[in-house]
């Protein structure tokens, strides 16, 4: 860099800054105050870096001679375990933790098992009570409630504390008399029995017992076929079993 001079040999100044000519011929005004500030800033940064380096070296000095930092860290952890557990050997810490975890898991499993058992009892009570108290079973069916539950109980589930009947596809059964609403237990059971292929063998008044008793003569016909007249049979079932489609 060379200071640019005018014809009189005086320095050329632009905005109060002397102009210098670089080797490539480019002319650049030299901002002395800004340069001084930059140099001061860089000196301060260099001093800060030097002080941090010296501090780091000071902290590392006590660890001179340690070739394996990982082993040193493990040793420190062992000592920490000794301090924390005192009477427990450092090598047994993980074993103790495992035993604690095992005991906790056993308690959790026991609680879950108890919860499942209580839920099963609740379902059994709700469903069993519904079947045993059913007016439909008492008035319309010729078999006891426990057999009805054993036969059709899988079509009912407990959801949100209430009994819901499911159709053959596992979907909620809806009321015929109250369109858009879920069928209650009594109506759902009536609809399920109505769709049962052997419903005539379990309905009261068909001339057969609950197990499908044998034959007996009545006006030259078998019990249960109502004289063999299908229309009469349907009418008889409807009269005994109102509300069911046939």
Q: What is the Cα–Cα distance from 193 to 234, expressed in whole angstroms?
A: 15
pLDDT at 227: 35
Query: Which residues make beta-bridge pairs with 222?
Result: 217
CA 11 to chain centre: 82
pLDDT at 234: 42
The predicted model scores a pTM of 0.38
- Parts of the chain with a pLDDT under 70: 81-91, 113-123, 206-246
Cβ atoms of 82 and 90 within 8 Å: the answer is yes
Cβ atoms of 185 and 127 within 8 Å: the answer is no
- Beta-carbon contacts of 234 under 8 Å, excluding residues fewer than 6 positions away, are 246
Place of tokens 């495992």: 98
pLDDT at 233: 43
Q: What is the Cα–Cα distance from 186 to 136, expressed in whole angstroms?
A: 6
Cβ atoms of 157 and 164 within 8 Å: the answer is yes
pLDDT at 159: 86
pLDDT at 1: 76
- DSSP state letter for 5: B
Place of tokens 């014809």: 7
Helix boundaries (H) for 133-178: 135-140, 145-152
pLDDT at 88: 59
pLDDT at 237: 46
pLDDT at 116: 62
Backbone angles phi, psi at 172, to 5 degrees: -55, 140
- DSSP state letter for 12: P
pLDDT at 235: 53
Place of tokens 């007996």: 216
CB half-sphere exposure, 234, CA atoms < 13 A:
4
Residue 203 three-state SS: strand
Burial level of 148, CB count in 10 A (0-12/13-18/19+)? buried
pLDDT at 193: 93
């Amino acid at each position: 860099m060379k200071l640019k001079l005018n014809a009189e040999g005086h320095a050329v100044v632009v905005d109060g800054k002397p102009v210098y000519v670089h080797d490539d011929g480019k002319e650049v005004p030299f901002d002395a105050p800004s340069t001084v500030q930059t140099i001061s800033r860089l000196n301060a940064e260099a001093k800060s870096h030097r002080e941090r380096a010296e501090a780091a070296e000071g902290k590392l000095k006590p660890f001179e001679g340690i070739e394996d930092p990982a082993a040193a860290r493990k040793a420190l952890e062992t000592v920490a375990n000794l301090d924390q557990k005192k009477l427990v050997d450092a090598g047994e810490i993980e074993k103790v933790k495992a035993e604690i975890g095992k005991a906790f898991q056993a308690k959790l499993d026991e609680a879950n098992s108890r919860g499942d058992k209580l839920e099963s009892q609740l379902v059994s009570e709700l469903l069993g009570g519904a079947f045993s108290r059913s007016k439909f079973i008492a008035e319309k069916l010729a078999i006891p409630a426990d057999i009805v539950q054993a036969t059709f109980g899988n079509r009912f589930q407990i959801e949100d504390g209430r009994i819901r009947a499911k159709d053959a596809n596992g979907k909620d059964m809806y009321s015929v008399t109250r369109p858009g609403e879920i069928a209650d237990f009594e109506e759902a059971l009536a609809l399920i029995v109505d769709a049962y292929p052997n419903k005539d063998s379990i309905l009261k008044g068909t001339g057969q017992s609950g197990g499908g008793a044998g034959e007996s003569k009545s006006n030259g016909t078998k019990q249960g076929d109502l004289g063999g007249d299908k229309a009469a049979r349907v009418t008889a079932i409807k009269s005994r079993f109102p509300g069911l489609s046939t």
